[in-house]
Amino acid sequence: MLDTRKIGSYISKLRKEQDWTQVEMADRLNVSHQAVSKWERGESLPDLGTLMNIGQAFGVSVDELMNGGAEKEDSVYVHNLGRIMKGFSEDRREEVAEMINTGEAEIDELIEVAPLLKASELAAVTEKVDKSLFNQDMIVRLAPFVETELLDGLVLQAAEESVEIELIGKLAPFISSEALGQLLEKAITDGVDFNALVRLAPFVRRESLDRLVIQAMDDGVELEQIGKLAPFVSREALGDLLDKAVTDNVDYDAVIKLAPFIGRESVDKLIERAVNEDLEWAFVVRLAPFCSRAMLNRLAEQIKEGELDSSRLISLAPFIDREVLSRIVDRMDMSKFAPETIAELAPFVDKGTLSRWIQGLLAK
């Protein structure tokens, strides 16, 4: 990869050998002296045309310039940069592609100059290069510089045999959500760390994630793990997961974590099914903020003596109707109520009910 600091240092060396100031060099190249300063500090590179002009100004080849003055025998010396860049500058892009296809130049050399090219220029050559010459590492290095549609094609072709989740993670910010979904579906099929999928979720289309979580559930991934994807998955998919989870006698702690994402109707349905499995009231109380008041009223009316202690009743009070709360308390043993409990329930009943409760406490 081009070493901007090495190139900048070499430009600075060439300038000093000519005994030019940065301002004088900038005037000769018709650029600002701030631009020259940034090049020499390695903070940026000149554009394609300016690089050609710098080479002419100092009487050095573009290859030598882009390699930071390194000798051709150096193991990291990159050849053909000058030929490739000249091909671009003279709008001979088909010749550049032919150089690569025939082996006169390497794809690595095209990738080296990618940061200096417009996406359209790079695409015009890349589209004509034999796609079988690209390996996954090359595609990752090229990703920031090519258009999304072209990159999608390269990635999907390279992943036909196999795809590593590490590769997907590197490409996620650059490929389309559709292509990313296809890669992830293949990765899941081949077996992949589910946590890696969670990290990639913000880049994936919801439809693709829906399919992936259903598949993950079928493959035995625990609901608690799948819950990490809840903010990115549709309510419908989560509802399907929970339907299956309740049937399979799921861990309700994992269900509660999903409740904020599935909607009241789904939570109601979940609770209704769970009631048939001797649902504990502790679970209902924890789900209360996420289910409908009508469902809670109906369940609360079915409470049997001893099933609901005062602390859970206090937690449930904000979510049920006043009349229902009053009837529940009336069925309970007031002698076991502390004054503090009545005080905490007071905001949720009418004055007449509260007065009656207080009288009951005083009569103890």
Residue 15's pLDDT band (boundaries 50, 70, 90)?
very high
pLDDT in tens, 100-144: 999 888 888 888 888 888 888 899 999 999 988 888 889 999 999
Angle formed by the axes of helices 33-40 and 4-17, nearest 10°:
120
Of the listed ranges 69-83, 154-168, 223-237, the least confidently predicted one is 69-83
pLDDT tens profile 184-197? 777 766 555 677 77
60-89: pLDDT as tens digits: 988 888 888 877 766 556 677 888 888 888
> Of 106-110, 198-202, 209-213, 250-254, which gets the smallest average pLDDT?
250-254
Q: According to the model, what pLDDT value does residue 30 have? A: 92
**pLDDT at residue 254 greater than cutoff 90:** no
pLDDT at 86: 82
Distance of CA 112 to the CA centre of its chain: 28
pLDDT at 165 over 80: no
Q: Take residue 92 and report the two structure tokens written for it.
A: 């001979």
**Inter-CA distances, 332 with 75, 288, 351, 358, Å:** 86, 21, 19, 14
Supply the pLDDT for residue 101.
93
The SS3 assignment for 193 reads coil
Mean pLDDT over all residues of the chain? 83
How far apart are the C-alpha atoms of 125 and 113, rounded to whole Å? 12
Q: What's the DSSP call for residue 128?
A: T
Q: Residue 250: is its pLDDT beyond 70? A: no
Of the pLDDT bands very low, low, confident and very high (cuts 50, 70, 90), residue 203 is confident
> Average pLDDT in the 217-245 region?
79
Per 3-state DSSP, the chain is made up of helix, strand and coil in percentages (nearest 5) of: 70, 0, 30
Summarize the confidence of residues 140-167 as an average pLDDT: 84
Whether residue 309 has pLDDT greater than 80: no
Reduced to 3 states, what is the DSSP secondary structure of residue 169?
A: helix
Residue 260 has pLDDT above 80, yes or no: yes
Q: Is residue 328 within 8 Å of residue 313, measured between CB atoms? A: yes
Structure tokens at 46: 């000149």
**In contact, 273 and 248? CB cutoff 8 Å:** no
Burial 270-281 (b: 16+ CB within 10 A, else e): bbeebeeeebeb
Which is more confident, 227 or 188?
Answer: 227
pLDDT surpassing 70 at residue 278: no
- Name the more confident of 275 and 310: 310
Closest CA to 233 of 264, 201, 188: 201
Specify which of 99-113, 214-228, 255-269, 293-307 reaches the highest per-range mean pLDDT: 99-113
